[in-house]
Amino acid sequence: MPRWLKAAFLAATFSSLTLAPALAAGGYAPPPGITLVASAPANALQLRSPQASGKKVHLDPKYMRQVVPYPSEQSAGTLVVNTGAKFLYLVLGNGKALRYGIGTARDGFEWSGTHHITRKAEWPGWTPPAEMKQRRPDLPDYMPGGPKNPLGARALYIGSTLYRIHGTNEPWTIGGDVSSGCIRMVNDDVIDLYSRVKIGAKVIVL
């Protein structure tokens, strides 16, 4: 091996060894099974930067969407919302589920039950309920869909309730008790879920 090539190889090796601890020390490590890359995402499970803001969403690793073991008697396609753990599971079958991090209801707005998805909407408009208008008279009567809309990029409507599984323009709220009963997801995650869930899918909120 030529001397210049050997020197380049040793330099590259030293650089990779010193860079790894630095990456581990700053920020957070990716969840098991996901490798950080500098190029475009190689699969749908890697979190992308929101297109609207161009800024990265720094989620706790456990709230990044990933396939996890999930033994369940529910059929594939069922949504199970664990409000206490702040996870939404899309049952895949064969003991697996696709898990997403969520934001849930504030104290006094919690609810549970079994329903079905009755409607889906892309970049939905938002009409604040009368009860919310009483609490927040500053809210508009209607807000058209778009990046500034609190329902985010997609919404999945739950039964005949006022509740939805929807995106958010406040991604930092994922993992908290933040809503008036709806289930929040980062926009990239709700877009992913929207593409997988069919009208009529069962939703179990625990």
Tokens representing 65?
A: 């969407």
Longest Cα–Cα distance of the chain, Å, equals 77
Nearest to 35 by CA among 56, 10, 64, 70: 64
Q: How far is CA 92 from CA 45, 132, 143, 156, 185, in A?
A: 14, 36, 35, 18, 19
Domain boundaries, the chain: 1-30, 61-205
Task: Give me the catalytic one of 58, 115, 116, 166.
Answer: 166
What pTM was computed for the model?
0.71
pLDDT in tens, 77-135: 999 999 999 999 999 999 999 999 999 998 888 999 999 999 999 999 988 777 777 88
Opening angle at CA 76, ends 200 and 83, nearest 5: 75
Task: Give me the catalytic one of 58, 115, 116, 182.
Answer: 182
Active site residue 116: no
Active site residue 182: yes
Which pLDDT does position 128 carry in this prediction? 78
pLDDT in tens, 44-80: 444 444 444 445 567 788 999 999 999 999 999 999 9
Q: Determine whether 139 is exposed, middle or buried from the number of CB atoms within 10 Å of its CB (0-12, 13-18, 19+).
A: middle
Q: Are 161 and 155 within 8 A, CB to CB?
A: no
Looking at CATH, the fold of the domain delimited by 61-205 is given as L,D-transpeptidase catalytic domain-like (2.40.440)
Is residue 192's pLDDT more than 60?
A: yes
